[in-house]
């Protein structure tokens, strides 16, 4: 069996972070290796545990938002799955320019998180929309 995908959750809402952790715990091929509430916490934790994927809320509290966290992670081996309620293409483009590999809407069914983590870990760049069946590869222009 392959090594599990190691994930850090960077989300400032305690309840949502717990829901993400619980959902990913049901995936035998994914393991949550850490959680952070603020951007500064996320950067320190990611440097310490070297996850494969970071599920990164864009509106983190504590003075360092998700876009800045993604920028600081450039050059590290982990991939970023941006997680936000913002779904306009311009906002998502800023996330991708900052280094995110994929985007998962907070409006998406919670069960999509495993699929999104697996895709990003595999090197895919995808935009997972709120529609239960919607997922599209991102083009260079996007």
What would the two tokens of residue 126 be? 């995808």
Nearest to 49 by CA among 36, 67, 64, 58: 36
CB 43 within 8 A of CB 70: no
Q: Could you tell me the pTM of the whole model? A: 0.87
Nearest to 33 by CA among 16, 21, 23: 21
The terminus-to-terminus CA distance of the chain in angstroms comes to: 35
**Helix, strand or coil, per DSSP, at residue 7:** strand
- DSSP letter at 61? B
Q: What is the pLDDT along the chain (142 residues), one digit of tens a residue?
A: 689 999 999 999 999 999 999 999 999 999 999 999 999 999 999 999 999 999 999 888 888 988 899 999 988 889 999 988 876 677 777 778 888 888 888 888 888 899 999 999 999 887 766 544 444 454 444 4
């Amino acid at each position: 069996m392959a090594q599990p995908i190691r994930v850090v959750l960077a989300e400032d809402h305690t309840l949502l972070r717990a829901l993400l952790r619980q959902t990913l715990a049901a995936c035998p091929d994914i393991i949550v290796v850490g959680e952070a509430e603020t951007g500064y916490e996320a950067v320190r934790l990611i440097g310490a545990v070297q996850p494969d994927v970071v599920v990164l809320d864009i509106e983190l509290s504590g003075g360092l938002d998700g876009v800045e966290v993604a920028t600081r992670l450039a050059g590290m081996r982990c991939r970023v799955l941006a997680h936000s309620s913002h779904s306009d293409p311009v906002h998502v483009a800023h996330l991708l320019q900052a280094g995110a590999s994929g985007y998962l809407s907070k409006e998406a069914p919670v069960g999509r998180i495993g699929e999104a983590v697996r895709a990003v870990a595999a090197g895919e760049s995808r935009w997972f929309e709120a529609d239960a069946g919607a997922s599209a590869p991102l083009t260079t222009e996007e």
